[in-house]
Structure 1
């Protein structure tokens, strides 16, 4: 949230004040079919035993924009990611694996990363509905989304850095602007008068300002701001990482230690950005380490020990410092969040390469595979609009009480019912607003990818 509305230098340590009676606050085509080869009309003599075709490799990047920018299948956010990704990057239609004698198979998608991103978005919506303090420990969504985005960024920077950064901005900002028009107009109607800080609604290098009426909608923008800074810094960070990968990866936890124990940073938007960048820097660098094969070369025992040490320290710090924020919720404790996310994300990304996990079996389940596709293609839309969907779900459910049948047979007072109605409204926003992501990616707009 905007620093001038928080009263201190970063967003952590406050108890959320969610309106409408629920807890939680914001802190971003079909899959390939089996390869078909043209059948010969007559059997052909073969002087040697036939050799199997080599398996098609799965690309490492987690986002659709991994594909070359001018490719038919991927005009290469996640934030955002994020969200997304959250996660919040451009998306491209998933290719099929049809081949013919005239050409090779199209590249496939990696369903392991796609599934992680979809689960991260679901967990974000669940947290903002139920306010579960333990949700971040079970599945630290933001750390996972920054890790996936870092992998993608390292892949993309094989192209000129200026083009990559421009591509990210082009895919991130239009969906943000489209969403922001509705939020800003609604706040203006509710007596908000912005100052010069409204420029952050154009490029969110700092927290965009807003009033208390719209706080639940705009407070999630910290993820887009953090993702944007990581994108801008990535050319420098990647060059620094490649000088001494293991050393730089380890030292990427140092900034959050400095901010916690030495210097808390300035009490303004710069300070807020420093806290968030420091909290998720290690996860972003883990993405670099995965892409460059650093994690793959690590011994399993080292990965397990480092992961358990980070989880142990993060969990210990969260539970022993509850007095500062009144909860063990990782979102209220940046140091605990940084170490817990580091310990959780590291084995996820290491196992991906070490064991060759790709979740290709997911394509056998058409509906589940379709859901994962939509989540990844509309990650920015889902992240930006999910809070508004939850806000609108409350007065909508209030109207249900006026219908006797609904009052009798529906669990109108259940948070789970709110969760379900919220997802229905998210689906509506995906249909109504998701096309903006297609326009931002210079593709033909579609209701669903």
Structure 2
């Protein structure tokens, strides 16, 4: 437009969903619980950009107050103390995993649900109600800024390793299906190995592979992040707001075109602000912004994006769908996502109470641990739902009692097929993260 469980060994977030400590893929990973701002700065020299700091903790919990380690009083020293009997050694149990930030987890789950809803019904207003791709890029930017405390090449290699195996596994089925339907690729098939450009395909499989623009854009952001983060930390607010300039230039001064290179530039420019906004959240820049300034910029950006979308419907084929109007998408997402991320930093929102609702909490867990699988396979699930429903017409009881013509019925069947894909194919995300394969996380 994010995957799996970046909160584990990759970011030092603990046990995560179960398995060995620390792993993730795609920015669709998980977020640590931030029990209190400020936390330790993510980069040493410029501590002013990372004002969050938490008390040091051990596996058993927070370090005790320093008063407990003061010397005893003179009266206490004079009193005889009985020699304590030696206690039997207690085997240390496994450390309990740290709490997860369910606010970010819930945003990612809602973003995935919105993506499936949009691809089922095609409602143009979906992107305005919840700009899921901008949200996912912002969440991925936050995690990328956190992980770049480690060497950049290590982080990039880890990200790529966790993304590509699920993509290859999915791609085998799509490529074979297109080959069976008379597709003959050229050298561009290399983009089915590393999707730094849009992978080629034929019209028969277009609905399945057209979603890969998000993977391509994400990979480019990952590769560019070491440089982007360094620029951001030199001048955080100017870089953040200037990140909207490229999409304005592309719209009014220079059109990069609609070829493989041009579409990649358009997507990078459209979501650059959201990615860098993730940096700003991670480094504590957002919580220092005044509410009036945030409200002014957010409303101005959303207002301009909405105005441009509705006033340029003719240029987008008669629709105000933000996915068809990059400039409107960039500004609408910028204003909307800024409010979400600023509210998180300002009001310490964590949705910790979600854990009281076990079933809902489990659903959020599965969405976050299988985000790559849900994103890649949801279009295939929706494609398969159509011939499956066609077969229902051959059963008189189904024809009589089921709403076979309703898109809502297809929506439900699609989710059942997505669940089947998660069960059958989700283990690839565990393998990519070098963990024991599991049927379901959590």
TM over 0.5: yes
1:66 match: secondary structure = coil
Matched, 1:164 2:155: yes
Corresponding residue for 2:271? 280
Corresponding residue for 1:12? none
The equivalent position to 1:365 in structure 2, one of 340, 357, 367, is: 357
Assess, with a 3 A threshold, how the Cα gap between structure 1 residues 114 and 247 changes in structure 2: closer, same or farther.
Answer: same
Corresponding residue for 1:76? 23
Q: Deviations over 1:288-325 (max 9, x none)?
A: 00000000100111111110000000000000000001
The equivalent position to 1:124 in structure 2, one of 80, 95, 115, is: 115
Q: Distance in 2 between matches of 1:392 and 1:381?
A: 16
* CA displacement at 1:353 relative to structure 2: 1.4
2:188 match: secondary structure = helix
Matched, 1:321 2:312: yes
CA RMSD of superposed structures (Å): 2.0
Q: Deviations over 1:38-68 (max 9, x none)?
A: xxxxxxxxxxxxxxxxxxxxxxxx9731333
Assess, with a 3 A threshold, how the Cα gap between structure 1 residues 177 and 122 changes in structure 2: closer, same or farther.
Answer: same
Q: Distance in 1 between matches of 2:96 and 2:359?
A: 24
* CA displacement at 1:377 relative to structure 2: 0.2
Q: Distance in 1 between matches of 2:277 and 2:416?
A: 35
Q: Write out aligned runs for 1:214-363 (5 A).
A: 214-325=205-316, 326-363=318-355
Matched, 1:429 2:421: yes
Q: Distance in 2 between matches of 1:273 and 1:77?
A: 24
Q: Distance in 2 between matches of 1:394 and 1:180?
A: 21
* CA displacement at 1:261 relative to structure 2: 0.3
The equivalent position to 1:445 in structure 2, one of 429, 437, 440, is: 437
Assess, with a 3 A threshold, how the Cα gap between structure 1 residues 301 and 90 changes in structure 2: closer, same or farther.
Answer: closer
Q: Is the 8 A contact 1:118 1:375 kept in 2?
A: yes
Q: Which moved more, 1:62-71 or 1:143-152?
A: 62-71
1:296 match: secondary structure = helix
* CA displacement at 1:105 relative to structure 2: 5.0
Q: Is the 8 A contact 1:90 1:171 kept in 2?
A: no
Q: Structure 1 length as normaliser, TM-score?
A: 0.81
Matched, 1:380 2:372: yes
2:288 match: secondary structure = coil
* CA displacement at 1:98 relative to structure 2: 9.2
* CA displacement at 1:76 relative to structure 2: 3.0
Corresponding residue for 2:171? 180
Greater Rg over alpha carbons, structure = 2
Q: Write out aligned runs for 1:70-149 (5 A).
A: 72-73=15-16, 74-76=21-23, 80=26, 87=28, 89=29, 106-149=97-140
Q: Is the 8 A contact 1:76 1:91 kept in 2?
A: no
Q: Distance in 2 between matches of 1:113 and 1:63?
A: 13
* CA displacement at 1:246 relative to structure 2: 0.4
Q: Distance in 2 between matches of 1:222 and 1:430?
A: 21
Q: Deviations over 1:114-148 (max 9, x none)?
A: 00000000000000000000000000000000000
Q: Is the 8 A contact 1:91 1:378 kept in 2?
A: no
Q: Distance in 2 between matches of 1:144 and 1:372?
A: 16
Q: Is the 8 A contact 1:245 1:289 kept in 2?
A: yes
Corresponding residue for 2:71? none
Q: Is the 8 A contact 1:63 1:91 kept in 2?
A: no
Assess, with a 3 A threshold, how the Cα gap between structure 1 residues 420 and 150 changes in structure 2: closer, same or farther.
Answer: same
Assess, with a 3 A threshold, how the Cα gap between structure 1 residues 66 and 341 changes in structure 2: closer, same or farther.
Answer: same
Q: Distance in 1 between matches of 2:177 and 2:258?
A: 28
Aligned residues: 379
Assess, with a 3 A threshold, how the Cα gap between structure 1 residues 383 and 267 changes in structure 2: closer, same or farther.
Answer: closer
Q: Is the 8 A contact 1:206 1:269 kept in 2?
A: yes
